[in-house]
Chain A
């Protein structure tokens, strides 16, 4: 089944403890992206990647890192999480990205709470 898999689904952590949220897609998509969703603010892009070893900042990149060493994986790293990073996170992938057409396939989400 074509899908984007995120792990974990839920995570509670403490301020300052490094964490990684994994994202993997099995559709050979070139474009991958991370979003955070907060009430009243919609989906905001954190980072995106147009291909292996090509990443770029989205609208809210502060406090996050990403890497794209393989086409299928796009982990999101929080080096020193803070409470304002408590949010619902989605990974998404697309065959060609926005201008190339085609929709985004989203993962099921990761609900992160930083205390």
Chain B
């Protein structure tokens, strides 16, 4: 079935280093959403991107939507231990109604 590819699967970074996770789709997307799941927790909605080339920021987090609306990235500047968790993108394709498909996630580990 439809899949959105998310890379990397795992990432270990030293506290204070930057982190980026990428999502790529084979189809043009209506929108893309990002979620964070803390260890032992449930996914929590972070943001939605809709427009081509859109860039949104939430404190140290920067979200980008590609010009062709087929890829997206989440960048965290100067990671902190509170950033630990798994980050998921979730895409809604233009030729699919209301379903969203989740990527497999990037698990972020922070080394103190």
Contact = CB atoms under 8 A, between A and B. Distances in A.
Q: Does chain A bind chain B? A: yes
A43 interface: yes
A42 B42 contact: no
Interface stretch (A16-24, A63-71, A73-81, A98-106): A98-106
Given A40-B104, A43-B88, A98-B92, A103 B48 contact: yes
Interface of A, helix, strand, loop or mixed by DSSP:
loop
A31 interface: yes
A22 B34 CA distance: 26
Contacts of A92: 43
Contacts of A50: 97-98
Contacts of A12: none
* A: contact size bracket: 20 to 34
A50 B88 CA distance: 23
B42 A104 contact: no
Residue of B44, B50, B96, B102 with most chain A CB atoms under a 10 A cut-off: B102
Contacts of A44: 102
Contact of B98 (A31, A103, A108): A31
B30 interface: yes
Interface in B34-74: 35, 41-48, 50
B42 A109 contact: yes
A40 B92 CA distance: 21
Interface in B70-92: 88, 90, 92
A43 B88 CA distance: 9
Interface of A: 31, 35, 40-45, 48, 50, 58-59, 90, 92, 96-109
Closest 3 CB pairs of A and B: A103-B45, A97-B98, A98-B92
26 contacts: A40-B104, A41-B104, A42-B88, A43-B105, A45-B99, A45-B101, A59-B1, A90-B43, A92-B43, A97-B97, A97-B100, A98-B30, A99-B31, A99-B96, A99-B97, A99-B98, A101-B50, A103-B45, A103-B47, A104-B43, A104-B90, A105-B45, A106-B42, A106-B44, A108-B42, A109-B42
